[in-house]
Structure formats: C-alpha cells, structure tokens
Structure 1
Amino acid sequence: MKYFLLLLLASFISLTSQAQFRIKVTAKNTADSIVYVRTSVYDDQNYVPKDTISLRKSGWKISKKAIIGGIGFLYFPKTKAKIWICLDNNDSLSVSLSGPDYLASIQTKDKKNKLFFEYQRLEKSLAFIDTLYKKEQANGRKFSYSERAAFFKMKSDSLTKFRTQAIKRLKPTDALAIHFKSLNALDRSIPDRKNYAKRAAFLNEIQFNNPKYLFTPNFKATLTEYMSYYPLQADSMQVGMDLVLGKFNCDAKAYPYAFDFFARLMKNRNIQNNTEGYVYFLTRYVKQSGCKFLPEKRKMELLQELDGLSGLPLNQLSPALNLADTTGKSVDLHSFAKDYDYTLLVFYAPTCEHCQKEVPEVEKVLKMAESVLQLKIGRYAICNEPGVPDATWKEFIAKYNLKENYAHVTMPGITKERLIYDALSNPVFYLLDKQGNIVGKKLGAVTIRKFFGAKQQASR
C-alpha cells in the first residue's frame, strides 16, 4: 500500500512538472456552468489552447504545451461576461468567483492577475465615459484626435496612473507589463500628421519584436494608431508601412499578422491612390520578397491580383464595357463618358450592406462637386450581382434616388470584364475623364471628395 501511494505521488509530481501552465476556476452560484479560456490571437504553435473549464467541477486544467505568454481571457458563454487574464509560461493560475457579478467577485492569489482584476474593475467604473462618447457620436458630433483625447482625459489619466504603478511591481518580461506599457503609449498618443518626431517616438515605444507583444489585444491597435500619423495618401502610407515591416525578420511570429494588416490597409478606399499603394505592397512584399511565410496557394492568388491591378494604369483608356440597361438596350461605356466631364464607374450589388451605405454617400459627393465646380458627372452603374431579381435592383435605384445622369446596366455573371476591373467584391468605384481614361481607381467617398477638392483649389 505504501509503495502504491509513493508511486501515485510520483506520477502526480511527474505530471505537474511537465505542465507548461495550469489554470483552475472555482465558482459558486453562477449562471454559467462552463467557461472558455481564449486568447486574442490564435496560433497553432504557441498559444493558450482553446480550453473549456467546468464551473461545476473544480479542478486543474493542465497544459503540457509551452506558450510564449500573453493576454487571454475567460469567456462565460451564457452571461457573455469576459474577464481578461495574463499567462506566462509555467504559470499556475487559480481563481474563484461567485454570484452574478463575476468581475466584482473574482479572487486570486496570483499577484499579476490580482493586479489585472483590480485594473479591470477600475476600467469598468469609468465605462460611463465611453457611453457618453458613443452618445455624442450618435448625435452627429465629430471628434478630432485632440478632441477625443480631451474627452477621455479623466479616464486615461486614471488608468495610466494605475498602470504606471503596477509596472513597478511587475517584471519587465511579464506579459502584463508589456500590455500595460503599450496601453500607456496608446493613451499618450495624439496622432499629428505634421509632427514627425512624435510619430517616430511612438513607433520606438512599441515592442513589436517582443514575441509576447503579438499575444496582447494591442497589436492591431498600435499599428492603426501609428498609421494614423500619416496622411491618407498611398505614398505617405508606404513610408510608415516600410518602417514597421522593416522592424521584423520575415520568420518572426508577428510578421504574417503585420503583413495581413497592411494588405487590408493599402486597399482602403479612403486612401488616395490606394490601388497604386496596394500594387507597391504586393510588388515589394510578395513578388520581390524572399520571405517564405506565405502558403504557395495564397502567394499565387496575390500575384494574380497584382497582374490584374497592373493592367489598369492611370491616365490610360479604360477597358471597354458594353452592357444592357434596365430596358435591355446596350450602353457603351466610352460613348457614355463622352457626354460628361467625368464619369464614375460603379460596381455594386443591391443586397450588399456596404453598397447601401457607400453608394448614397458617393452620390452626395458627386452632387456637391457638380454644384460647386459646375460639372456634369455621369454614373455608369453596374449591377454586379448575378441573378439578382429586377425588382430588387430597381427598388435600390428608387430608394436612393439614383436617377440623374445615370446608366443602370447589369454584369452577366463572372465575366472577363469583372476580372479585368478586379470587381469581385462590392462596391468598387473608378473615375474616368471625358475620353474614358482612368483618372481614379478603387475610390471611396473621401477620396472622390479629395479629387474634386484638388480641382477646386487648382481653379482658384
């Protein structure tokens, strides 16, 4: 019997010594019967596994897999409650909670997470400021970066003070210390597109090369904040993108995440000359890059996209289109363009939520440009949704009053023209001159406004 107990004890010691981290949640009188352990970034090599812990059976969840460490959270599916936790490799975290308010009742002896829970309670007590901000936005108020910082100053000051004191009690290598330092940097930051020194200082504060930094909720937020220091023009955005991506080796764990961020950013229609910016991105970081991080299929898709975009240079004649309108009559794009000072080529889908928002916004910009600059602007609008009922299409036209200077035509299925114009998503806007030459690609309401604003400045 004694031998058996020693063997059992040895087995338990062996099991726990192999564990890279352990977590236990003890609960009383909770609406939820389970809790999920989740992370803000999923990764199949080093991550906190997507675990499910029973709240009715208290016990340790043991992982033998090493983790880099980072910020995760406990998610309670019934009440939708979320409590953030920090986990470094070899940590053992035991928490207890009770009653309906999980954050108020959660307790632990773990010093890092005890601090983190106190921080989240403070954050929750200041949530009324976020509510007021959303109310102001709903009432139509627009905030500049400096106005937004002033609005949140009381909250930012309180949280920054807490984080600064907490950092002194943490190891610099702790995931929570890294998390708090980046939040302090974000709260201090007020993007100013003319303050180059401030822009550079913010970039230097961010620990992009620290592997733990990727596994915090701040990775995308800090990239967004940094790029907000640049004008919404492709050549400027390229500078910031190159500086950030230049900080990584392409075999770094965070590199694919940064790559995906910039792939989306450089396609943003609010960036002037975004197509040229995206072509630059694909050329430098896919076609010419020696990095091997992309799966071959994904790389080939991006190279095909590059070939398509490279075939639509600015100030060149747009590819021919001759499509049937709502009456069945064919309308030639180039012939249509000759009747106008400019023509907006629109690919849209009546059932697309983005189209329902953006097409009317663009229409307002066009009407303003026509009025201010005394222009006549045509709209060659293509229903880019194969098989959509005519009634749905015509209802969209009537609802948003898209009638004056319009040709409403339809694209019959997946055609070569759709591929040539890279119009596989909706909406897509191109701007043509009177001769049918492309003068703007992959535009949005903001970039169309800037285009005609520049025309107004030049005419003064």
Structure 2
Amino acid sequence: MKIFRFFLILIISIQTFAQKVTNGSQGYQVTIATKNLKAQKLLLFMKYGVNNQVVISDSLTIKTNDQKVVFKKNQNLLGVIYFLKLASQPQGIMLALDNGTQASLELYDANVENINCVQSNLNKDFIAYQRLKKTENSSVQLKILRNTLLPKYPKSIVNLYLRIEDKILENAPSTIEEKIKFNHSFFTTIDKSDQRIYLLPNINQYLYAFTISTPVTDDYYKKNIDYVLKGMDCKSRNYQVYARWFLSNLSYFESFNLDLSFNHLFKNYIESNSCKLFSDSELVTFRTKSITNTLLPNYIKLPSISFVDKENKTFSLETSYANYDYTFLAFFSPSCHHCQQTMPIASSTFAALKLKYPNKKIQLITVLNDADESQWQQFIAERKLSGWLNLKSDDPKRKYQSELNAFSNPNFFLVDSKGHIHLKSFNPKAIEEIFLKKI
C-alpha cells in the first residue's frame, strides 16, 4: 500500500509538473525512424528517487521493419531528462526534453546507444556528451565539452544537468577550511528549490558528493542536513527528495556512528510530518530508531541481561560476548513477517562473513521476543538458525524490552567482546566495515 501511494503521488506530481509552464510551444515530440526492429518495444521513462525507480512515461511496439514511431506530449512541461531504450536492453540513453522540444532520431539496429540524432542540436550534443563519458581518460575533454554546452543552452534542463555534473566531478580540496567553502558552494551552483531537480537522474550523486565534501561525522552531517532542509517549504517536491535521500545515506554510512545525525533529521524535519510526506508506519519506525539511539548510543555497553535456552539453561550475555570478537543479537517473533524474511538472509550473510574473515570470532544469538513459544523451534528450523545460540526470556515482565527498547520486531545489535554496541540494525555493508576496523 505504501509503494502504491508513493507512486500515485509521484504520477500526480509529474502531471502537475507538466502543466506549470505556460509560455512557448507545448510539450515535446520525439520522432524515431527505425529499421530492422520489427516487434521490438521502445520505452521512454524517467528514473526517480533514492533507488532510481523507473517510471514509464510511454511505450511503443514497432510493427514493421521500416517504421517511424512518435512519442508526443501536448502539455506544457518543465524540462526533464528522459531515458530511451529498447525493452530488450538493460540500459538506455538520455534525452533532454524541454518544453517545445522537437527531436528526430534514427535507430537502425537493436542497440539504442547507436541512435543518431538528426534534428535537435540540443540532443545531438547531449548524446555526444554521454558517449564521450563512456570513453577512458575523458575527464579533460568532458570538462571542455561542458564548458561549451553550458552557455549554449542556458535555459535547458541540460544546463542544470551539466552544472550538477560539473560539481560532482570537481576535485575536492585538501584542507578543512577549503573543504567547508567547497561544501557551501554546492547550493550556490544550483537553486535547491529548482523544481526540475525533482526528476534529475544525477541528483543522488550530487547529494553524495555534497555530503562527503566534508568529513562524515555527526557535527558536519547535521550541518549538511540543515544547509539543505532548513527554511525549505515541506510542500516542495524537493523537500521529500532531500529528506529521503538523507535517510538512505545515513543507512549507507551506518558504520560511521551517525546516531545524532539521524535524531537531528527526524526531530527537526520529519517527526511533525506537517505535509504528510511520510506514512504512519514510517514514522513509527523512525521514532523507534530515534528512541533507541538516545537510550543506547553507539559504543555504550549493552545492559547486563540473561536469557535461557530451550532446556532452561541460563546464559549471561556479558559472559557470552566476552569470548568473541563480535556478537550479533537478533530479537524476533515467529509471527513477524519482516523477521521471516530477514532472518534467513542474516544467517546466510554471517555464514559468508565467517568464511571471508576466518580470524574473526563471531557469535550469533537469537532471542525470542514473544510470549507465544508455540512456533519458536519450528521457526528456528525453517529459517536455518539451528547453528545460532537460540534463547528466550524467563522473565514474565520482559524487563529487557525496556532496557533495549525492544518492544517491536525485529531488533538487532552488534557488540564487541566488551559488550560495546557498534550497530543497532542488520546492515551487511556496515557490519563488514566494522569488522575491518580495529577495536
């Protein structure tokens, strides 16, 4: 339901996008002369969001071996970078479609990268830029070409795309003073409220370059969040793009101990949800994470807690983790759908990590986080967890839930031999990065 709602909002937003410009020719028309491509399907699409979700704008099936096909939109629109590809191909080429664009292309084989632009100097130049980018050692030539194209197309979406490219590819300075100035230059290069950013395919790379232009620490990360989001109207389409990107990037950098940054983002820019950008279930997840971050900041020692196995033998976590480099704790319920999906993945992930890092002593523990034990052992067998130390609580009040904020399922902790918390999630990338660090 969340995904459906998200894409419904996106489609409505794109339609709104297509109605705001009122000057000049309306929409676009892309004519493609094709040969020897009977029964092939051409797709015109956009890529959107943190995960580059594909949103199909139009598709056409070629019916003969010598046919012209036309993609046409009559609405006024802001400029958008579209992708064109054959359905049989994994990749496509980008087309710059500003309001009023008329483009004619030729495609005579089943590789859209060989397309030839015969009308629309803008797209002829843009395709040439993409081809040059794929060649080796082309950075100098690309810079020259960008400098040529930027003044040539001052109002086109290509201008915004290339300005962003310019910043992505710019070498960061070495001193911290210069880094801060470089960091602040990112949003003087572009207007962060420019509505065309919403669907730019290189905005994720731009935000990443912006984030790593200063050290990835809580202090700088919180400043980056404020620099982008502070003062923005949450009704802006870009606000949601930026906020969700920071959420995703904080997960990417989870081994960097950025709990304070997450809490800062949540408290100041998400929790009120005044513009209804986040679902109720998302807010519950974010709030739970924020509470856990406050209760158990990274590197604090895990509370002293004991559990029992199915034979009612007592295991003290403090004693258990002392004999291992790292202990991974997973709190679950057999009826939890997310647990059913995640635990087999966790099991196979750690099996691979043990093979990759044979010198690391890794202990794996599950804790039944449910009063109902009827499916406990069946879940362990079905989810391939028999090699883990599988425990439950013998405390009817389950005091540990308050100590760990483990009221929901699943919950995860990675601790070292001293019981210090290094991670509060199952994040394979972060786990491996932590393994590579010296304790």
Structure 2 length normalisation: TM-score? 0.71
- Which residue pairs with 2:316 in the alignment? 332
1:264 is aligned to 2:248? yes
1:62 to 65, 69, 72: 72
Shift, 1:178, TM fit:
0.9
Tell me the residue number matched to 1:387: 379
2:145 to 159, 162, 181: 162
Letter in 2 for 1:238: K
Counterpart code for 1:180: L
Distance 2:268 2:235 in 1: 16
Query: In structure 1, what is the equivalent of residue 196 of structure 2?
Result: 212
Matches of 2:408 and 2:349 in 1, distance apart? Answer: 14
Q: Which is greater in Rg? A: 1
The question of whether the paired residues in 2 share the 8 Å contact of 1:249 and 1:255 is answered with: yes
> 1:27 is matched with which residue?
34
Q: Residues 35, 411 of structure 1: CA spacing in aligned structure 2 closer, same or farther, 3 A cutoff? A: farther
Note the C-alpha offset of 1:183: 0.9
CA distance in structure 2 between the partners assigned to 1:254 and 1:362 by the alignment: 42
Deviation at 1:296, TM superposition (A): 4.3
Q: 1:232 to 1:112 in 2, by over 3 A?
A: same
How far apart are the structure 1 equivalents of 2:133 and 2:83?
16
Deviation (angstroms), 1:361: 6.7
| CA distance in structure 2 between the partners assigned to 1:33 and 1:100 by the alignment | 8
Instruction: Tell me which residue corresponds to 2:390.
Output: 409
The question of 1:430 aligning with 2:411 is answered no
How do 1:284-303 residues align onto structure 2 when only pairs under 5 Å count?
Answer: 284-287=268-271, 290-303=274-287
Candidates 59, 77, 90, aligned match of 1:52: 59
Q: Distance in 2 between matches of 1:439 and 1:393?
A: 23
What residue number does 2:171 align with?
189
8 A Cα contact 2:27 2:74, kept in partner:
yes
1:96 to 78, 87, 106: 106
Query: CA shift at 1:108, angstroms?
Result: 3.1
Partners of 1:178 and 1:168 in 2: how far apart?
Answer: 11
Which residue identity lines up with residue 155 of structure 1 in the other structure?
S
Q: How far off is 1:342 after superposition?
A: 8.2
CA displacement, residues 81-108 of structure 1 (integer Å, 9 cap, x when unaligned)? 4111011233333322112443334223
Work out which of the residue numbers 148, 159, 174 in structure 1 matches 2:156. 174
> Which string of whole-angstrom CA distances, capped at 9 and with x for unpartnered residues, describes residues 30-77 of structure 1?
37621111012279xxx9862112333534333344433221111211
Task: Verify the 8 A CA contact 1:71 1:217 in the aligned structure 2.
Answer: yes
Q: 1:291 to 1:235 in 2, by over 3 A?
A: farther
Instruction: Report the CA distance between 1:331 and its aligned residue.
Output: 1.6
Distance 1:122 1:100 in 2: 21
Q: What is the identity, as a one-letter code, of the residue corresponding to 1:228?
A: I
The equivalent of 2:373 in structure 1 is none
Amino acid in structure 2 at the alignment position of 1:108 = V
Query: What residue in structure 2 maps to residue 282 of structure 1?
Result: 266
Unmatched tracts of structure 1, length 5 or more: 1-16, 130-153, 368-377, 398-406, 453-460
SS at match of 1:389: helix
Q: Contact conserved, 2:37 with 2:110, CA < 8 A, in 1? A: yes
Aligned to 1:318: 303
Q: Is 2:32–2:106's contact at 8 Å kept on the other side of the alignment? A: yes
Corresponding residue for 2:220?
236
Gaps of 5+ in 2: 1-23, 331-341, 369-375, 425-429
Tell me whether 221-230 or 196-205 shows the greater mean CA deviation.
196-205
Structure 1 position 187, deviation (Å):
1.4
- Cα distance in structure 2, aligned partners of 1:247 and 1:363: 50
Cα deviation, residue 289, structure 1: 6.5
**Cα gap change, 1:238 to 1:359, in 2 (>3 Å):** farther
The aligned amino acid for 2:73 is S
Quote the Cα distance in structure 2 between the aligned partners of 1:64 and 1:105.
24
Question: In 1, distance between residues paired with 2:29 and 2:175?
Answer: 46
Q: 1:370: which partner in 2?
A: none
3-state secondary structure, aligned to 2:256: coil
CA, structure 1 residues 79+316, in 2 after alignment: closer, same or farther (shift >3 Å)?
Answer: closer
| 1:240 Cα deviation after fit | 1.6
Q: CA deviation at 1:345?
A: 4.3
Return the offset for 1:161: 1.2
Q: How far did residue 312 of structure 1 move?
A: 3.0
Distance 1:334 1:52, change over 3 A: same
Q: 1:423 to 1:277 in 2, by over 3 A?
A: farther
Distance 1:93 1:323, change over 3 A: farther
Residue in 2 that maps onto 1:83: 93
The separation in 2 between residues aligned to 1:191 and 1:355, in whole angstroms, is 38
TM-score by length of 1: 0.68
Please report how far the alpha carbon of residue 245 of structure 1 lies from its aligned counterpart in structure 2 after TM superposition: 1.8
Name the structure 2 match of 1:121.
131
SS of equivalent to 2:221 = helix
Distance 1:340 1:48 in 2: 51
How many residue pairs were aligned? 376
Decide whether the 8 Å contact of 1:211 with 1:254 is kept in 2. yes
| One-letter amino acid matched to 2:46 | T
Change (3 A) 1:427 1:49: same
Distance in 2 separating the partners of 1:316 and 1:293: 36
